[in-house]
Amino acid sequence: MKTTRTQNLLAAALIGVTVFTATIARAADPLPSWNEGKAKQSITAFVEKVTKPGSPDFVPVAERIATFDNDGTLWAEQPLYFQALFVFERIKVLAPQHPEWKDKEPFASLLKGDMKGALAGGERALLEMGMATHGGMTTEQFEKIVSDWIATAKHPVTKRPYTEMVYQPMLELLAYLRANGFKTYIVSGGGIEFMRPWTEKVYGIPPEQVVGSSIKTKFEMRDGKPVLVKLPELNFIDDKAGKPAAIQHHIGRRPITAFGNSDGDLQMLQWTAAGSGPRFCLYVHHDDAKREFAYDRESHIGRLDKGLDEAAAKGWTVVSMKDDWKTIFPAEKK
């Protein structure tokens, strides 16, 4: 009898420990880099109401679609979109094979180190450089180029790898949503194949949940082996009004929550907000010149103007990076 009682007590104690540990785990803050306040509270309140069984706002797991812009929302976008910096480097690498670039804008200015001249042609110039560097190779070749670049390239200001220029509070938010049954998607103006090689490792978002801008591809047989060749021909620009169209095309469901930082995300947030049932829209506001960059209504990159007004009018959450985030970037990896 004594042995049995001791065993029972031991078992009870073990169960107690297990329950206690589980309680601590549950009670742990899933968003430790977020300061307590309205923004953080609005997130957890939304997640709690849509996941609570029996709640009038309960949303089945299959419908818990969350879409995130990338540039300026999940990682930084200053002094210039990181993909543009990738394009510039590729132009320098490819220049020996393109002697004609010496006399052709915007390539000529860029190769002379005149960044301002290279960007004088605006979006059209960027697009031209993008197609010249992304097209004319197979999807596998491009994937390798991106993977090699992202593994070694450094941000021009902070000198950190681009994959460490991601926002720690947003990484926590992605994980928190997924832990609550959400399927997290990127819906970015950036190139779909520029993002896919690293989003799973950096954000936990697999290639099939990445939506972005794209050029056309062509299936071909080369030496009896099928390849997909990237053509220097625009397929789709996943920005502004393009974002809801791309969401419908790729996902086929309306998100119940969407996250952005610029007017380029406004239509995605409007589309998300206009669905029936509980909805949550959030803008990241870059107002922290000291720890990151401060820009909004007047910026050429990531302009947030109409979006700020609409967020105020509709009661969307606006995150102050300065006030709402304890830390901006993850700790440096040694």
Residue 296 to residue 223: CA distance in whole angstroms: 52
Choose which of 252, 300, 331, 334 interacts with a copy of itself (CB under 8 A): 252
Q: Does 290 bind a copy of itself (CB under 8 A)?
A: no
Residues in 256-275 at the binding interface with a copy of itself, rule: CB under 8 A: 267, 270-271, 274
Nearer to a copy of itself by C-beta: 8 or 327? 8
Q: Does 245 bind a copy of itself (CB under 8 A)?
A: yes
Tokens 């103007």 belong to residue: 305
Residue 54 to residue 201: CA distance in whole angstroms: 35
* C-alpha atoms less than 13 angstroms from C-alpha of 202 in its C-beta half-sphere: 25
Nearer to a copy of itself by C-beta: 34 or 185? 185
Element (H, E) at 145: helix 139-152
Record the tokens describing residue 248, joined without a space: 């419908």
Cα→Cα distances 131→125, 140, 215, 258, 310, Å: 10, 16, 8, 29, 34
β-bridge partners, 10: none
Q: Does 210 bind a copy of itself (CB under 8 A)?
A: yes
Phi, psi at 283, each rounded to 5°: -110, 135
Choose which of 189, 244, 255, 302 interacts with a copy of itself (CB under 8 A): 244
Q: Does 228 bind a copy of itself (CB under 8 A)?
A: yes
Closest distance to a copy of itself from the beta carbon of 166 (Å):
20
First and final CA of the chain: distance in angstroms? 57
Residue 244 to residue 187: CA distance in whole angstroms: 9
Closest distance to a copy of itself from the beta carbon of 206 (Å):
6
Nearer to a copy of itself by C-beta: 166 or 273? 273
Tokens 């697009």 belong to residue: 127
Closest distance to a copy of itself from the beta carbon of 248 (Å):
5
Tokens 């954000």 belong to residue: 203
Residue 196 to residue 139: CA distance in whole angstroms: 11
Choose the binding region for a copy of itself from 169-177, 224-232, 287-295, 309-317 (rule: CB under 8 A): 224-232
Nearer to a copy of itself by C-beta: 259 or 325? 259
Record the tokens describing residue 228, joined without a space: 């997909």
Closest distance to a copy of itself from the beta carbon of 200 (Å):
8
Length, in residues, of the chain: 334
Tokens 């967020």 belong to residue: 311
Q: Does 144 bind a copy of itself (CB under 8 A)?
A: no
Choose the binding region for a copy of itself from 106-114, 245-253, 298-306, 320-328 (rule: CB under 8 A): 245-253
Could you give the 3-state DSSP secondary structure of residue 165? coil
Choose the binding region for a copy of itself from 106-114, 126-134, 210-218, 281-289 (rule: CB under 8 A): 210-218
Nearer to a copy of itself by C-beta: 219 or 332? 219
Neighbour-count burial for 33-49, b at 16+ CB within 10 Å, e otherwise: bbeeeebbebbeebbee
Choose the binding region for a copy of itself from 99-107, 168-176, 248-256, 287-295 (rule: CB under 8 A): 248-256
Count, residues near a copy of itself per rule CB under 8 A: 35
Q: Does 219 bind a copy of itself (CB under 8 A)?
A: yes
**Amino acid identity for residue 131 in this structure:** M
Q: Does 60 bind a copy of itself (CB under 8 A)?
A: no
Chain residues that interact with a copy of itself, rule: CB under 8 A: 4, 62, 139, 183, 192-193, 196, 200, 206-208, 210, 214, 216-219, 225-226, 228, 235, 241-242, 244-245, 248-253, 267, 270-271, 274
